[in-house]
Chains A and B, each alone.
Chain A
Amino acid sequence: MTNAWTDIKNTDLVVVMGGNAAEAHPCGFKWVTEAKAHRGARLIVVDPRYTRTASVADFYAPIRQGSDIAFLMGVIRWCMENDKVQWEYTKAFTNAAYIVKEGFGYQDGLFTGYDPEKRDYDRTSWDYEIDEDGYAVTDPTLQHPRCVWNLLKQHVDVYTPEMVERICGTPKEKFLKVAQMIGECSSPTKTMTSMYALGWTQHSHGAQNIRGMAMLQLILGNIGVRGGGMNALRGHSNIQGLTDLGLMSHLLTGYLNMPTEKETDFETYMKSRQFKPLRPGQTSYWQNYRKFMVSFQKAMWGDAATAGNDWAYDYIPKLDVPSYDVLRMFELMNDGRVNGYICQGFNPVLAFPNRGKIVAGLSKLKFLVTMDPLETETARFWENHGEFNDVDTKSIQTEVIQLPTTCFAEEEGSLTNSGRWLQWHWAAGTPPGEAQHDTWIMAQIFLRMRELYRKEGGAFPDPILNLSWEYHDPTEPEPEELAKEINGRALRDLTDPNDPSKVLVPAGKQVVNFSQLRDDGSTMSGCWIYSGCFNEAGNNMARRDNHDPDETGAYLGWTFAWPLNRRTLYNRASCDTQGRPWDPSRKLLEWDGAKWTGYDVPDIAPNAKPEEVGPFIMNQEGVSRLFARGMMRDGPFPAHMEPFESPVPNVFNPKMRGNPVARIFQNDVAQFGTSEEFPYAATSYRLTEHFHYWTKHNRVNAALQPEFFVELSEELAAEKGITPGGWVRVWSKRGSVKAKAVVTKRIRPLHCDGRVVHVIGIPLHWGFVGAAKKGFGPNSLSPFVGEANIETPGYKAFLVNIEPSTAPAGVVA
């Protein structure tokens, strides 16, 4: 989230699209209710299903799943055509005026540079014209035909209300009503917030869905302001934290990247990360990359990381592919190229697509280690449960070691919420049986392996033998010790560069925040963006001052938000080019002539003059990007793409299937279905009473929504002879499930491009262990293909068939 949950009360319009906050984030959604009750805010829901969020909306519009880009480009087109643009913001704070190189173009659903063999673009034409000083060329009058604004106007021109209806199935008058309500928020004194979740991310074009809304929010002037922003409603309690800390194949901590094998040494790695400003006087904060990277290496390997050995750059693995993401790992597993797998609090048998392929992959492993507080289907994937897990136990040669861990109530530490607040919590209970903390288990595995390497030697032991492990009790690092390491400290006295006799931070003391980190090996910090969380003032994540001066919703004394305790990202953009708040009644910051002051920590140097320094300091331009240059694999603007399994062809290019640059493994192509065989558009979601696969271990939640079901319209039920509450079989090219039918008015047939599209809703929760009845999940059916930029599997739009059926064997109907 750019903003915080508590900030949603400041909004005038909430758009929930690609999410269902009332059901999936009920206590956060309360702030929408607050905004409606106390500000007169309105709520729009755009969703294939009439959800519980829709039931309290001021306006609901249906949409076919997977067609959001067309809808959003349609709204941008409508706003441009009807002068619903926050012009001063758009001109000053976006790259609307930047001139794009000659040669860039878009035709038949594809941008310039497409190579169908490689399924990739040559992105060299997707960039600015650069002048002789190395700066991007701009035309502040927006007259130049190749300025971003005019290219965008051209790009969205095709997304007329009629075209939106044709692609999305949203009736034209409903689309226009939404566009009109959104358009009102182009006023500097009206804001809209976007609340989205996996309904946008889990598509082969997920990142472009989000970009589409971000671009709309920028031209409306809604980023950086109270009650505005792009608010990703994240799933698990610390999914934000694990992303920030880089527990991903392609990441290191704090959004530093894993090196590739083409980056043969540290200087080569750094060379492409210099981030020189693209406009005069801009901050381009990533210029500090080297300080954060060297401090990270020092946190990992301490004294073994020296200037002489490239800060132990060789110790970090180098990638030969963009990532060894989960889809690639299970592909390799199926090929017999993975021997071992560790699942810490993760249940891939229910969480990853094409379950048949997942179970087949696990069956080829030599060993599987699971760490979890609860039983999981993954730990018992080898167990036969009839139709619910029909495996040949004897033939599965995988050795499985299941380790019991503590749960939240028995451990201490911080979790980062969706709004980037790092909140500390304390252990309350004694763990059951011999359950242990994950930190103890990881330490045990590490110490035992290190001992084996000390005794026996083996493959490149250096990064293991030299891993910094300076804990009071090496067998169980304490949460506070780890938090201090994340924050970082001085390794030598840090002196003032202007006065070397003055010591700013004595050796061994915590740095106050990342501004004190250095690239000469004199500081260490595990994760630079978290620096400030635990400094010499103490554990800032444990702060509990819940005062909120003038009720802005900022709560600066409550725990710690990254970066630097800032609550609203890009908050400098809440003021005009002179530094005056766009909306004085919703002030966040203002320029007092010498510095920025206000309710939040400024997202810019406190003395950066408003006319000179742009608010988007992480970008080389200092402004935000309506045109993403070559930074997205699938286009500098979002363009309509169909799901790989779609009930209708792509209207712009009927031969194009899915995202043209999404990675597909050869083995999966044969497992994509067509609309002839599988005529119905399926989608998946979670229910209010459930949290993924955990709550089925809990009798209260298992009883509240007891049985696996699928939802379908009355029209489709009538057509197929399906009775409410009766058993149905739903199957895709990859699998088959049996469920009770919920025949409902909440799902209505859509009319897209002259066809009737029936939607089938498939909730997730059920498996074969726990207190709940046995059942299936949508991942038995969903396809094995990821998002083109980040490889998030698509669960929201795929094809199935349905027929009346009987109960699974052994189940009393």
Chain B
Amino acid sequence: MAGTSLAAMGFGEAEAAVAAHVRPMKLANTTETRNTCPYCSVACGVIIYAKGDVRKGERADIVHIEGDADHPTNLGTLCPKGAALKDFVHAPTRLQYPMVRRPGSDKFERVSWDAALDRIARLMKDDRDANFLASNQEGTAVNRWTTTGMLAASATTNETAWCTFKVAKALGIVGFDNQARV
């Protein structure tokens, strides 16, 4: 704007100089995505700005998160937690790789997904096969597995929850709860 006004007054070179030193808007050329704040269940709408478009299969780096002004509940506002969401996404303590801590060890060691998942499936199956209770003393089918339990995450989506529910209940896990218990 400053540059254009200067040009109108005949200062062409000055325009170029000013334009060169105006910082481009940070959110130019970013992809906007509608999302929901993951903290409390006011569930404020947020807009996430990323360099790159994950839906096109591109690498997308999140550069900014702000309140969604179209959202009826928060009307664009965010609290001190929601306003700092970007730092959660990029926290230095975000986990990147599967790790294992062996019995008695004082450290985590990196393992492959295949190794981690095969190990989990084996540990779970062995425990289930050894301790699954098919029937009680009266001979009634009870089909429960009490020796392995699971806590589900109440910040996951409903779709993740349904997927998790199916697996846990089909395995017969009865020690199954989520944060709603607390």
Contact = CB atoms under 8 A, between A and B. Distances in A.
B97 to A, nearest CB: 5
A423 B167 contact: no
Nearest to A704: B80
Interface stretch (B4-12, B14-22, B133-141): B133-141
Nearest to A405: B95
Given A6-B73, A352-B182, A404 B37 contact: no
Contact of B72 (A6, A26, A332, A486): A6
Interface string A223-239: 00000000001111111
Interface string A402-439: 11110111111111111001110111111011111111
Nearest to B164: A442
B37 A237 contact: yes
A382 interface: yes
Interface stretch (A109-117, A366-374, A599-607): A366-374
A353 B176 CA distance: 18
Contacts of B169: 252, 300, 316-317
A246 to B, nearest CB: 6
Interface string A339-352: 11111111010011
A374 B95 CA distance: 5
Given A374-B91, A414-B158, A249 B175 contact: yes
B173 to A, nearest CB: 8
B147 A337 contact: yes
Interface stretch (A150-158, A393-401, A501-509, A659-667): A393-401
Contacts, number: 486
Given A261-B142, A369-B120, A791 B181 contact: yes
Interface in B166-182: 166-182
A691 interface: yes
A444 B112 CA distance: 13
Contacts of B151: 326, 341-344, 346, 348
Contact of A240 (B41, B79, B122): B41
Nearest to B73: A5
B180 to A, nearest CB: 4
Contact of A442 (B118, B157, B163): B163
A18 to B, nearest CB: 15
A753 interface: no
Interface string B144-164: 111111111111111111111
Interface in B72-120: 72-75, 77-85, 87-89, 91-106, 108, 111, 113, 116-120
Contacts of B101: 382, 398-402
A699 interface: yes
A248 B177 contact: yes
Contact of B143 (A264, A317, A695): A317
Interface string B116-133: 111111111101110110
B26 interface: no
Given A235-B179, A544-B70, A341 B150 contact: yes
The winner among A443, A459, A704 for most chain B CB atoms within 10 A is A459
Contacts of B136: 261, 320
Contacts of B148: 338-342
Given A27-B42, A415-B36, A434-B113, A449 B142 contact: no
Interface stretch (A39-47, A476-484, A627-635, A754-762): A476-484
A320 B175 CA distance: 12
B82 to A, nearest CB: 7
A183 interface: no
Contacts of B100: 399-402
Contacts of B122: 452
A393 B107 CA distance: 10
Contacts of A689: 80-81
Contacts of B52: 430
Contacts of B119: 401
A383 interface: yes
Interface stretch (A61-69, A278-286, A460-468, A583-591): A460-468
Interface string A315-334: 11111100011101100100
B23 interface: no
A624 B166 CA distance: 34
Contact of A339 (B131, B157, B179): B131
B41 A237 contact: yes
A229 to B, nearest CB: 15
Contact of A409 (B35, B84, B167): B35
Contacts of A275: none
A369 B153 CA distance: 13
Nearest to A398: B103
B38 A408 contact: yes
Interface of B is mostly: mixed
Contact of A695 (B45, B62, B84): B84
Contacts of A247: 152, 154, 161, 164-165, 168, 176-178, 180
Given A415-B158, A428-B54, A442-B164, A237 B39 contact: yes
A453 interface: yes
Interface string B37-73: 1111111110011101011000111100100001111
A392 to B, nearest CB: 10
Interface string A517-531: 000000000110010
A446 interface: yes
B179 to A, nearest CB: 5
A238 B161 contact: yes
Contacts of B176: 247-249, 324
Contact of A28 (B49, B62, B73, B152): B73
Nearest to A791: B181
Interface in A4-29: 5-6, 24-28
B62 to A, nearest CB: 4
Nearest to B106: A393
Nearest to B113: A434
B146 A332 contact: yes
A383 B43 CA distance: 35
B142 A402 contact: no
A401 B116 contact: yes
The winner among B72, B77, B160, B172 for most chain A CB atoms within 10 A is B160
A165 interface: no
A409 B117 contact: no
A793 interface: yes
B153 A371 contact: yes
Given A393-B106, A690-B81, A242 B152 contact: yes
B178 A459 contact: no
Nearest to A313: B141
Contact of B59 (A26, A248, A430, A453): A430
The winner among B62, B97, B119, B178 for most chain A CB atoms within 10 A is B178
A375 B93 contact: yes
A459 B40 CA distance: 41
Given A245-B165, A346-B153, A430 B170 contact: no
A718 to B, nearest CB: 33
A638 B113 CA distance: 52
B163 A429 contact: no
A253 interface: yes
Given A30-B74, A252-B169, A428-B54, 16 more contacts: A236-B41, A242-B161, A338-B148, A345-B152, A375-B95, A393-B104, A398-B103, A405-B95, A415-B155, A417-B42, A421-B43, A428-B48, A430-B52, A442-B160, A460-B172, A701-B81
25 contacts: A28-B42, A30-B77, A234-B41, A238-B154, A238-B156, A242-B152, A247-B177, A248-B177, A300-B166, A314-B141, A315-B143, A317-B144, A324-B175, A341-B148, A374-B93, A401-B116, A402-B98, A407-B94, A410-B54, A418-B43, A422-B158, A430-B59, A453-B125, A695-B81, A792-B181
Closest 4 CB pairs of A and B: A345-B153, A433-B96, A413-B157, A404-B95
Interface of B: 31, 33-45, 48-50, 52, 54-55, 59-62, 65, 70-75, 77-85, 87-89, 91-106, 108, 111, 113, 116-125, 127-129, 131-132, 134, 136, 140-182
